[in-house]
Structure 1
């Protein structure tokens, strides 16, 4: 069934709003994105924002969760393609190498985590992403007979998040990969 031109325009406007939100979160900070600012960036009137979404918070949440899901999916692909646990750690670290802690995606993650402390809906969606990712890592580690795969997956996921957060504050330690490989050996 073909969609109508109006439906196609509506979907395109919705995507522009989500893209604008994903840009504005790291640029201005979660709480500084208003309906007016979002509408201006997307090239629509403020009433259009609320036609497509119940609130600015809903746009920000969907934009952040979508972007974070894409990053985790890319990490997942690299991780699951690894043949040994040490290679998997290297793959996880390589997947985040492009993020220096001050880039837009790192800032989006940081802003979303912070906003989730005050927004139960966002918190629940982020928790679901984290739990799903850790479950996939746990399953992979179990297949590769890593002891305590669930605890190891939790530490790996937290370590990667922590490394990204710390990168924005200063240089990292070149021995991180060695330490994380030791965790899975």
Structure 2
């Protein structure tokens, strides 16, 4: 009996996290309330606070989990690359499915904005991004890319910027790949 109660509790928790990822881009981060979150997840408002300290805590955990998943795909793409140029192509290719206006892009944009006001969220996103940059810098440095740390930082920031610009200009920035390839060329 206890295990079925634990399983139901975990299912409710997962529904709350999924609902948070749906609601943040739909309504905006700060417009997600306990009542709205509970309603979307199909639970009572008291269940929200049973599993999480606050609605903000649900949003933070949900978005950091989603970011970890996207970063794992991102890293898998650059780990398959055999040259710095292939890293650029792989990294840019790994985000092709994001339009800048799709729900996941929007929830990340909401989270970045919310991180300007929430230290725990800023720290969580920062740790993910710092780790990604370090692993990418190691990969680029192994090929002799000069100042691999700076190149990795710019490449990661460029991807975020390109996604943001996709929402504004769906055609993207055609020359971005060529510029990023030159920046990461060994011996550049």
Q: Fold conserved (TM > 0.5)?
A: yes
SS in 2 for 1:60: helix
Question: How many pairs align?
Answer: 184
Gaps of 5+ in 2: none
Q: CA deviation at 1:121?
A: 0.5
Gaps of 5+ in 1: none
Tell me the TM-score normalised to structure 2 length.
Answer: 0.96
**In the TM superposition, what are the counterparts of 1:47-126 in structure 2 within 5 Å?**
47-126=46-125
SS in 2 for 1:97: coil
**In the TM superposition, what are the counterparts of 1:25-40 in structure 2 within 5 Å?**
25-40=24-39
On the 8 A contact 2:162/2:173 being kept in 1, the answer is no
Residue aligning to 1:184: 184
Tell me, in whole angstroms, the C-alpha distance in 1 between the residues paired with 2:100 and 2:140: 27
Q: Deviations over 1:132-175 (max 9, x none)?
A: 11011011011111110100000000000000011111131211
Residue aligning to 1:172: 172
Residue aligning to 2:162: 163
Q: CA deviation at 1:98?
A: 0.5
Tell me the TM-score normalised to structure 1 length.
Answer: 0.97
Q: CA deviation at 1:122?
A: 0.4
On the 8 A contact 2:99/2:105 being kept in 1, the answer is yes
Q: Following TM superposition, where does structure 1 have runs of at least 4 consecutive aligned residues deviating by more than 4 angstroms?
A: none
Tell me, in whole angstroms, the C-alpha distance in 2 between the residues paired with 1:25 and 1:144: 40
Q: Deviations over 1:15-74 (max 9, x none)?
A: 000000011111111001000110000000001000000000000000000001100110
